[in-house]
Structure 1
Amino acid sequence: MKWKLTGRYLVSVVLIVVIVIIMNIVVVIGLFILQSVNENLPLLNRQTSAESISRSFQEHIIITESGASISEKGKEILKKKQAWIQILDEDGGEIYRYLAPEKAKTKYAPIDIVQIYKYVEKEVLSTVFVGEKKGFEHRYSYLVGFTTPYLERQVLTFDSRNFAQMFKVFSVSIIIIDGFIALCIAYIFSKRLTKPMFIFIDSIKRLAGRDYNVYHQPKGIYKDVFANINLLSQELKSSEKERKKLDAMKEEWIGNISHDIKTPLASIQGYAEMIKDTEYQFSMDEIRDYAGIIEGKSKYLRDVIEDLNLSTRLRNKELTLNKKNVNIVSLVRNVVIDTLNDPRYANRDIDFSSSHEVIKIEVDDILIRRAISNLIYNAIVHNHEDISIKVHAEKNEESTLIRVEDNGKGIKQEELGRIFDRYYRGTNTGELHKGSGLGMAITHDIVIAHGGSIQVHSTVGQGTVLEIILEPNSAK
């Protein structure tokens, strides 16, 4: 895996470098070709060289029937370049001179012209270039000498048969050297790019293996990636901690609910066996008493099973709400009355009030009744018998609010955020009020399913306030 990533970067960088080198070679060769085809192109800065000036100086030579001369511009060029000129006829005799040294010859044989072109003559102390000018069916030669001591001319001679071979060797050498340099640079570059990727891969493997202790200092071009990996590691660590906490709660809840189910089952089984046993002769009153106990335990088991089923359907959003336009004041009042009619809670202090006599809202009345009943039941089972419970319903411009308030023990801060968790059972629950542990979670899910919210405020030793806030679809 490592070499695959490094190889891909390596190949891409090498290709780029090689393409650039080839393009440079092509451009250089093209420049030389263009310059050789058209000497007037200013590509290699040859227009300012002494040889170029000498070759192009024929433009400034003026040939007439009476003789030869040069233009004023030509004179300016010669003065500027510290040069002189001699114009010769076909026999090598001088017909015009300008700024030429006094010791310069007036008659040149062919060998003299070759000699002065190849070597610096002591008489003129100049580097001389030879040119030709056509005019009136005659050819005129001219000598342009440059007196500057910094100008030198080197004559290059080579065998054209060896030039191609030399060019091949030179080209191959350059390509090998450049290729090696490009390979080294590309390798270093690719290593710098791929090294962080190896760290990414290793980090992902560790996270996949449930090792969430991953942290890297965000730096370099991948600092955002490192920062996201650190964030992911922290979130996974928190999720794993929460999952373990939830699993522990779930196991504890399963143990508690199993124990709570076994107790009524044992009672049902025991009374049923007693009634079934022929050795015992029970009176009708005793049989009715036993049947009542069996019925009560059966209802308890039914309620637990219904809680489990309802909680699962609400959490998985599989329950369809049967909304109706109901008077929430009457609904809450009836819940309070039903609670007080329960013999277990007949002596409890539960007070109901409302801001309006009629508050109409679209809700599933059965589920909302269940949610409010759970809040009241929660206030009862977690407090002493002498507490006061106030239930209030009110309407404002934006929402409908249902409040259940008590002046009981209150809820500890560390438990306040858990009361709506599934499987959580409060520590203050009495032995006579065992349940599924899903009551508050069911209430929360019912309110959320209606698009509302539920809030809890509590102070230890002062009491608890729970509020259901519903956004009405239609209210009157």
Structure 2
Amino acid sequence: MKWKLTGRYLLSVVLIVVIVIIMNIFVLIWLNIQQLKLNGPLLHSEDNSAVSFVRSFAGQIRVSPSGISMTDQGKAELQNKQAWLQVLDEDGKVLYGYDVPEKAKTKYTPMDIIQTYKYVEEETLSTVFIGEKAGADYRYSYLIGTKDRNLQRYVLTYDYRVIGRTIRLGILVVIAVDGFVALCIAYIFSKRLTRPLHALINGIKQLAHKNYHVYYESKGVYKEVFHNINVLSQNLQAGEQERKKLDQMKEEWIGNISHDIKTPLASIQGYAEMMKDKDYQFSIEEMREYAEIIESKSLYLRDVIEDLNLSTRLKNKKMMLNKKNVNIVGLVRNIVIDTLNDARYANRNIDFHCSNEVINIDVDGILIRRAVSNLIYNAIVHNDEQVAIQVGVKKSGLDVWICVQDNGKGIREDELERIFDRYYRGTNTGELHKGSGLGMAITHDIVKAHGGDVSVTSELHQGTRIEIRLPIFFKEERNS
């Protein structure tokens, strides 16, 4: 596009120069035509021809002792030219005449000859040319006058300084006129070239004011720019829709977590007020029961706060991994055992299997335990008690795979893409589900921090399978 735009500007400049030159040529031709119309063609060609005719006419004049005469050919030529002839001696006296007008002079002084030559004679209304005829021992002058109006003589007198000023003024006028014409033509071309730029600037302003419904037809020299503006507009529209959806999810999540926090706080506050009231007398067993409830609710609040803190640190990549070489099989097996030892999940059907008894890998054991526990916990709280949960560990090449699979309710297709998003809670949440709602997002970020990835496949009423892939050799990128 850059070369197209440059070429278009260069072509405009060349066209402006060519058009100005052509206009100057047409003006010169027009002036020449007007001059020819005013002065006639004899001004240049015929004038020269008349002078030659007068000078050569001396051959038609005969000088003899008996006097001066003229040949028949000379007479015919004079008649053809509508001219007359006078031959003068050295004193200006007319010695011979042919077809001379009645008012013509018979004797000419030197001043009369000059006036007759320079100007049209008022008496004869003729343009007069002067020639010379040489005799044996005498030289004669002769006048040839013509009444042809197309043949006239102009005597010019001029001052070089005035001509110089006139030429300079003419050059300035020509430059000014050509400049004005060039500016007009350049304005027309630039208007045509810059019109799309105004549309582009307006489109960018619309995008800057968050009006993302901008579309232009991709054509012309700015085709690629218009296309990129359209793509940007579409991306901004999609981003705006995604932002609104995320804001809505965030508001819902804040409402849910606020409710989840208010419930244990209400219990803690209620039992604390009861224990503080002097009107009530509690037994040791009751005090211990209330204290246990307060402790349980406090631990729940602590877990929620830790989730929020951990999620923020993982999101901002400020979490430093404390890696150690651990047996990942034993780590996952202990997670399953600890889950079954929890009285809340003691009756759940959770099986563990592995391809090898020992698979050593460098990981942050605490974070990996948290990630796998979240997956098992979600399989429990999102399904009924009869659902079977399979937890497995295997080694494949340079990767370790941890799989958590169940045969429960499954996840809808439109929810699969969002289960790892922050603030998202699925629709299959059971009564046991409590907490921040950040569990799956935390799992995803922990695995990503170890250089791995998480994949999920699910089918409604058939179950869900979530796999974690961890590379055995992975060098952590430290952030300053």
TM-score range, shorter chain: 0.5 to 0.7
Change (3 A) 1:357 1:158: farther
Contact kept? 1:310, 1:442, Cα under 8 Å: yes
Alpha-carbon displacement from aligned partner over 1:166-220 (angstroms, at most 9, x marks no partner): 5335423432332122112210121122222211221111111111000111111
1:407 equivalent to 2:369? Answer no
CA distance in 1, matches of 2:336, 2:418: 26
Q: Which residue of 1 aligns with 2:368?
A: 368
The 10-residue stretch of structure 1 (301-310 or 161-170) with the greater mean CA deviation from structure 2 = 161-170
Alignment of 1:8-407 (within 5 A): 161=160, 164-165=164-165, 167-407=167-407
CA contact (8 A) 2:382 2:433 kept: no
Q: Tell whether the 8 Å contact from 1:361 to 1:474 is kept in structure 2 after alignment.
A: no
Structure-2 separation of matches of 1:397 and 1:372: 21
Q: More displaced, 418-427 or 274-283? A: 274-283
Give a deviation string over 1:409-442, Cα, whole Å, max 9, x none. Answer: 0000111111001011111112232211000000
> What is the match of residue 69 of structure 1?
none
Amino acid at match of 1:372: V
Q: TM-score, normalised by structure 2?
A: 0.65
The superposition leaves residues 374-412 of structure 1 with CA deviations (integer Å, 9 ceiling, x where unpaired) of: 000011111111000001111111311101000000000
User: Which AA in structure 2 matches 1:445?
Assistant: D
Structure 1 residue 20 displacement after superposition: 12
Specify the alignment match of 2:450 in structure 1.
450
Question: Secondary structure at the residue paired with 1:432?
Answer: coil
Determine the C-alpha separation between the residues in 1 that align with 2:221 and 2:227.
12
**1:395 and 1:326 mapped to 2: Cα distance?**
14
Answer yes or no: is the 8 Å Cα contact 2:381–2:431 preserved in 1: no
How has the CA–CA distance of structure 1 residues 20 and 449 changed in structure 2, closer, same or farther, with 3 Å as cutoff? farther
Separation in 2 of the partners of 1:364 and 1:354? 20
Query: Measured at CA, do residues 438 and 158 of structure 1 come closer, stay the same or move farther in structure 2, by a change above 3 Å?
Result: farther
Deviation at 1:446, TM superposition (A): 0.4
- Aligned equivalents of 2:177, 2:14: Cα separation in 1: 15
**Aligned to 1:221, what secondary structure does the other structure show?**
coil
SS at match of 2:429: coil
**Distance in 1 (alpha carbons) for counterparts of 2:298 and 2:312:** 21
Gap regions ≥5 residues in structure 1: 1-8, 26-156
In 2: Cα distance, 1:446 partner to 1:173 partner: 81
Letter in 1 for 2:368: I
Determine if contact 2:354/2:394 at 8 Å carries over to the other structure.
Answer: yes
Do the aligned residues in 2 keep the contact of 1:360 with 1:474 (CA within 8 Å)?
Answer: no
1:31 alignment partner in structure 2? none
Shift of 1:19: 13
How far apart are the structure 1 equivalents of 2:474 and 2:422?
Answer: 32
Aligned residues: 333
Residues 214 and 317 (structure 1), Cα distance of their counterparts in 2 relative to 1, 3 Å cut = same
Structure 2: distance between partners of 1:275 and 1:390: 45
Structure 1 distance, partners of 2:210, 2:402, is 44
CA–CA separation in structure 2 for the residues paired with 1:215 and 1:356? 59
Q: Which AA in structure 2 matches 1:390? A: Q
The whole-number CA distance in structure 1 between the counterparts of 2:369 and 2:159 is 108
Report the alpha carbon displacement of residue 345 of structure 1 after superposing the two structures with TM: 0.4
Code of the aligned partner of 2:443? T
TM-score (normalizing by structure 1): 0.66
Contact 1:18 1:179 in 2 (8 A): no
| Per-residue deviation, residues 127-169 of structure 1 (Å, max 9, x unmatched) | xxxxxxxxxxxxxxxxxxxxxxxxxxxxxx9968365355335
CA contact (8 A) 2:395 2:401 kept: yes
- C-alpha displacement at 1:322, in angstroms? 0.5
Native 8 Å contact 2:457 2:465 kept in 1: yes
Bigger Rg, which one: 2
- Contact persistence 2:398–2:473 (CA under 8 A): no
Equivalent position SS for 1:362:
strand
Deviation at 1:283, TM superposition (A): 1.2
Describe the shift of the 1:158–1:461 C-alpha distance in structure 2 as closer, same or farther (beyond 3 A): farther
The verdict on how the C-alpha distance between 1:316 and 1:474 changes in structure 2, with shifts beyond 3 A counting, is closer
Aligned residues of 2:393 and 2:402 also touching (Cα < 8 A): yes
Q: Name the structure 2 match of 1:128.
A: none
- Secondary structure of the corresponding residue to residue 376 of structure 1: helix
Q: Deviations over 1:326-379 (max 9, x none)?
A: 110000000000100110100111011111111111110100000000000011
Mapped contact 1:14–1:183 kept (Cα < 8 A): no
In 1: Cα distance, 2:444 partner to 2:273 partner:
41
- Distance 1:361-1:474 versus aligned 2 partners, 3 A rule: farther
Tell me the distance in 1 between the aligned counterparts of 2:198 and 2:20: 31
Question: Could you tell me whether the CA contact under 8 Å between 1:14 and 1:182 is conserved in 2?
Answer: no
State the match for 1:124 in structure 2: none
Report the secondary structure of 1:205's partner residue.
Answer: helix
Report the AA paired with residue 202 of structure 1. N
Whichever residue aligns with residue 462 of structure 1, its letter is: Q
